[in-house]
Amino acid sequence: MYVKELSLRNFRSYEQVSVAFPSGVTALVGSNGQGKTNLIEAINYVATLGSHRVASDAPLIRRGSDEATIRVVAAHDDREIELEIDLVAGKANRARFNSSPMKRPRDLLGYLNVVVFAPEDLALVKGDPSDRRHFLDQTLIALAPRLAATRSDLDRVLKQRNALLKTAQHAARRSTADVMRTLDAWDTQFAQLSAQIVIERLNVVDALLPYAQSLYAQVSDDRGPFEMRYECSLHDAPADRSESTWEARYLEALAERRNDEIERGITLVGPHRDELGIDVRNLPVKGYASHGESWSAALTLRLASFELLRHDRPGGDPVLILDDVFAELDSRRRRRLVELTQTAEQTLVTAAVAEDVPTELDGARFEVNAGEVHRVG
C-alpha cells in the first residue's frame, strides 16, 4: 500500500495544500521550519490517530482555526481508499471512510499502516519505560486494531481506579465499606483488561525478536548480540498466557497491595508499570550503550516493526517514513538503512538539504518552502 494523495486544511503551518505522491521513494527537502515534517506527521496521524512529535491534538490545528482536516487517498493493487479526519478544538474528532462518516475515529485504524523513524526515536532506548510501552502498544494495535478499544478502556479504568484510591485515603470510617466495594468492582475490570494487554504485549515481543536480532546484526555489522524481553512488574507472573490465569494473578496482587495503594493514592500493579528490556552485548542499552549503539537499537526496533507488519498484516507493506534521520547517522548506518529500505513499496524521506538524501534513494523529489510544496524531480 502507498499514499497516493495527501490533502490538508488548517493543519499546522498549512492553510491548504494537496500533494500527489508516487509509489517508491519520495524525498521532501526543505530547511527547518518550512513544513516538511508536518506533511508526514499528518500521514502518520491518519494511520495511528496520534502524532510522533506531540502528545495532544491542539498544536496540530493551525493558529486562528477551530479545526483541521487531514485527507489521505491510499492505493493497494487496483483499489483506492479515502481516509479523512477532522481535528476539532475542544470537541470530539470526526472521521470518514470513503466520504461516509464513521462512528469513532479509531474505526480508521488498520486501513493504513505507517512506520516512522525519527530523531525522537532515540527515546525508545534512552527514554522512560513509557516510551517503550507506547512502542509495543502502537505495534500491537497496528497488528490488531480492535485492541485500540481495549487499550483505551484500560486507561479509563486505571484513571477511575486511581481517583477512587485517592478518595479512599480521605474516606470517613462510615463510608469505607462502600468505597471498598466499589474498588472491588474496578479491580475486576482492571484485572481483565490488564491480562489482555499484557498477553498481547508478550506475543508482540516474541514476534519482533527474530526480526530485531537479524536487523541489528545488519545495522551494526554484527556487533551483537541483541536481546529484548518483556519485564512484567507483577510479582510471580504466570508462565502461561491464559487470560484467566493472568486475571486471577492480578486480582491477587491488587488485594496484596491494597493498603499500600490506598496510602499512596495510586495503582501500584499493572501494565502501566511494565518495561521492555533491551540489551546489546549482554548489557542494558540504557545506561551502557554508546551513542552509535543506541541509534542502532532504536533503528532496529522501528525496522523490526516494519518487517512484522509487512509479513503479518494484509494490505501490502506499511508506508515507511524516515524523518530527518540520515543527517543523524554515520556513513555505515546510512548505507545499511538504505539497503534495508529499498524494497519498501513506499518510502517517504525528509531532509533539510538535498545532500542528506543518499544518492541510492533515487525517486521523486519535492521542495518544501514556506508552506508550499512543489515537485522538482
Average pLDDT of the segment spanning 68-88: 95
pLDDT digits (tens, 9 = 90+) for 121-150: 999 999 999 999 999 999 999 999 999 999
pLDDT digits (tens, 9 = 90+) for 238-250: 999 999 999 999 9
pLDDT digits (tens, 9 = 90+) for 165-220: 998 877 654 457 778 889 999 999 999 999 999 999 999 999 999 999 999 999 88
Q: Across the chain, what does the average pLDDT equal?
A: 93
Q: Please name every residue paired with 16 in a beta bridge, in sequence order, or none if there are none.
A: 9
Average pLDDT of the segment spanning 315-335: 89
Give the integer Cα–Cα distance in Å for 83 and 74: 8
Average pLDDT of the segment spanning 207-234: 92
Give the integer Cα–Cα distance in Å for 139 and 216: 18
The answer to whether the beta carbons of residues 303 and 339 sit under 8 Å apart is no
Statement: residue 298 has pLDDT above 50: yes
Q: Note the pLDDT of residue 151.
A: 97
Q: What angle do CA 283, 53, 330 make, to 5 degrees?
A: 50
| 72 vs 119, residue with greater confidence | 72
Q: Note the pLDDT of residue 114.
A: 96
Cell numbers for 114 = 505507517
Q: Note the pLDDT of residue 174.
A: 46
Domains and CATH numbers, the chain: 1-113+315-377 (3.40.50.300), 126-312 (1.20.1050.90)
pLDDT band at 76 (very low <50, low <70, confident <90, very high): confident
pLDDT digits (tens, 9 = 90+) for 142-162: 999 999 999 999 999 999 999
First vs last Cα of the chain: how many Å apart? 22
Q: Note the pLDDT of residue 102.
A: 96
Give the integer Cα–Cα distance in Å for 50 and 41: 9
Sign of the dihedral defined by the CA atoms of residues 318, 323, 325, 326, in that order: positive
pLDDT band at 316 (very low <50, low <70, confident <90, very high): confident
Q: Note the pLDDT of residue 334.
A: 87
Statement: residue 118 has pLDDT above 60: yes
Q: Note the pLDDT of residue 175.
A: 56
At 34, is the secondary structure helix, strand, or coil? Answer: coil
pLDDT digits (tens, 9 = 90+) for 30-54: 999 999 999 999 999 999 999 999 9
Q: Note the pLDDT of residue 72.
A: 98
What's the gap between Cα 349 and its chain centre? 18
